[in-house]
Structure 1
């Protein structure tokens, strides 16, 4: 029988918001049918118009807030509703931090089947374990989920901005794409970007208008200026301006350089990046330095990093130091440990780990990133970090074959999470601890579930707000290997013919040692004497 949908498109309804979805939309129910309402907040009663209806859910447009949440605030940005870059400016910062904690909790419980401890206010799990391993399995009450670590100033935190350039009715537009489109919303002020970016936007518009420089038209694949990128060192105050062009020829580039030099304090680097492909990828592979250096520098903690147009560098350096310091804390290093840093990128976490590790091996598939990692280690006089190009799931077994084994493994994968083969390789190596740094709660939860099956218990979960005003959340997780008090270890010895059954094979003189979690499905053992060890 076909399911009857209880709502109609273009019809108005009054609903109560029962929760928030992973992208910040309010969740309402009509006859147990789910309706997502962007802009609504948990606990509110709202009037909506249903604008899209699917088989199992619908979307509603917020028309009116009938009963307002105490966490509703007025967004500071005038283009907040058009831009789509910040999904949570209507929610108080306290409410944002709670939303992100709940987002992590929901993913861990629903996807990873990870038990969350009720002891959220107790001291750190790190302080409750001997060498980071629980004394008794019965001590485990689930993973301790901490409150999200937020910022004192949750605005103006980004050190990098990339802005598409377009033209409409003869006017230059520089800003952000509207949600799910390539329509450019013109921007004068962005409250999560550094203010220097706004000054560069004004100057770029002035230069393009004065000298009739054409903006790129992606439909016709015509025009010159595609994007403007601005990077700033928060500690060094150095500024880089990158103009991304379709063609190598850039008319009046000397005038552009002089305009930027005269008006932007701290300007260190002006670069033309050439991208002549018809693509959504912003940067091309060729850079031409128009002024100054080909890079700027900045610090995370005490470590200095050189940053080029193509370099990966965390966009929120203040929270990055907190994130990496938490990862270092969870690693529990004493100076005697060997650490593997999978997905090491340009070596930022590896350098933090090197402070307290005997040796760090960073592994990354992108060759250019490994080159940067080696340069960063050299700049900071770090001699106990080695960087290797390759897939971690391939490199780690090679290291083990050379007699190199990790006491601690740190993973910081992209949004898609870890490759299962990597997790299995880590499980076979059996390091004492794993520190997982994640940018996606869903794939984090999936991977923690896999690691649980491989013998690792989730102890602590620490969300960190790297991107205030948005729905994104970073998470640092500590896992510890399950010890013998929670594992049945047994030896199977086979070889006595009196146990042989017809049409069965008896393996003479062979032994096998293995372990299974106590919670695993019971198994039957045939043909063999079992000795519990």
Structure 2
């Protein structure tokens, strides 16, 4: 399967022309080359249907002919917007919702933001879909604090979505005045609905707000988290630390099999969502703290606190030496390392293995088919 945008320098699917089986083979080999010296690498977990898996879409507005606007994705290594009507990676419902957003913006004569001049109104549109619930969130990112004719925009959007046979559950305006590549700003206003949507994952229901971190591939996320919880070998007696916990997904997935779960996350919005998610799911053995993971665990280790199992799911840059050393001082029996970057995972493993841990296994998970990225679940056990 191919896409006409690839010929226009779209960088979203660099491996699209490669057969999927060959993609998996290459990713597994890459993980084995990086991590194989630390422990055995299991066969990669791929998708049965590796298309239309993204439950989150970010589209950038740009000028179009006749004074109108369009929206799409940046061409690779540029700030030129390629108009997108449909995408082989994106949820097909979200493709249709984005067309409704674009039509509503044109009907309301909204102007796209011009990065060079600093003029115009609409910067980006972020869409989320709860695949299990069918709920859809529309986040309109503006360069100005006021969206003129907001009620008319919402009315036109809802009508356009209904015409296309797709739902819109909530609409949020996000104000981002900064000259930055960061999509979302700090200020938000709910224009329609409750300002969040619900989704179900691994038997738990989660509230997703505009800035919530939530994995974009729900099918493979269930695989990833299932592997992570299995790797922890929980018996119901363990104290579990969920570091870099986001909205609490891994910790809450593990909560049924643990005595207590403690989650730590630097993003306060995510922590608020995690606390709400625990309450919504009736989970009473989980607590969440808004703090830098490295600083929090260093203080906890200094105070003599212990954890039986540590889940760590750091960002692409990996963890920090201070965090890893503090984990080693806590001396958990097991560490389950969920990585979105096997290169930084290999770097961190070099330190963990020096601190008395041995890798039992690594399982690659193809979270992002047709891209070069690969997630890995690593299981480590304390040997001294």
- In the superposition, the TM-score normalised over structure 2's length comes to 0.94
| SS of the residue 2:106 aligns to | helix
Partner residue of 2:143?
246
CA distance in 1, matches of 2:231, 2:360: 10
Task: Tell me by how many angstroms 1:308 deviates.
Answer: 1.1
Q: 2:344 aligns with which of 443, 464, 470?
A: 443
| SS of the residue 1:267 aligns to | coil
CA distance in 1, matches of 2:292, 2:94: 37
Query: 5 Å matches for 1:83-232?
Result: 83-108=10-35, 114-115=37-38, 143-169=39-65, 170-232=67-129
Partner residue of 1:256?
153
Partner residue of 2:249?
348
Q: 1:269 aligns with which of 156, 166, 170?
A: 170
Larger relative helix fraction? 2
Structure number with greater CO (CA < 8 Å, separation at least 6) is 2
The structure with more radius of gyration = 1
**Number of positions where the alignment pairs a residue of Structure 1 with one of Structure 2:** 378
| SS of the residue 1:152 aligns to | coil
Asked if residue 427 in structure 1 is aligned to residue 328 in structure 2, the reply is yes
CA distance in 2, matches of 1:101, 1:171: 46
Larger relative strand fraction? 1
Distance 1:213 1:390, change over 3 A: closer
Task: Tell me by how many angstroms 1:248 deviates.
Answer: 2.5
CA distance in 1, matches of 2:335, 2:173: 42
Which blocks of at least 5 consecutive residues in structure 2 are unaligned? none
Distance 1:337 1:206, change over 3 A: closer
Distance 1:228 1:324, change over 3 A: same
**Structure 1 residue runs of 4 or more that deviate by more than 6 Å after TM superposition:** none
Which blocks of at least 5 consecutive residues in structure 1 are unaligned? 1-74, 116-142, 484-533
Partner residue of 1:278?
179
CA distance in 2, matches of 1:320, 1:311: 15
Q: 2:6 aligns with which of 80, 84, 104?
A: 80
Kept in 2, the 8 Å contact 1:173–1:185? The answer is: no
- In the superposition, the TM-score normalised over structure 1's length comes to 0.68
Task: Tell me by how many angstroms 1:207 deviates.
Answer: 3.1
CA distance in 2, matches of 1:210, 1:393: 49
| SS of the residue 1:83 aligns to | coil
Output one character per residue of 1:468-503: Cα deviation in whole Å (capped at 9) or x when no partner: 1111111000011125xxxxxxxxxxxxxxxxxxxx
Kept in 1, the 8 Å contact 2:108–2:153? The answer is: no
Kept in 2, the 8 Å contact 1:370–1:389? The answer is: yes
CA distance in 1, matches of 2:277, 2:22: 38
Distance 1:173 1:452, change over 3 A: same
Output one character per residue of 1:229-263: Cα deviation in whole Å (capped at 9) or x when no partner: 11111011011112111113323333321222224
CA distance in 2, matches of 1:421, 1:391: 12
CA distance in 1, matches of 2:203, 2:210: 22
Distance 1:397 1:250, change over 3 A: closer
Partner residue of 2:264?
363
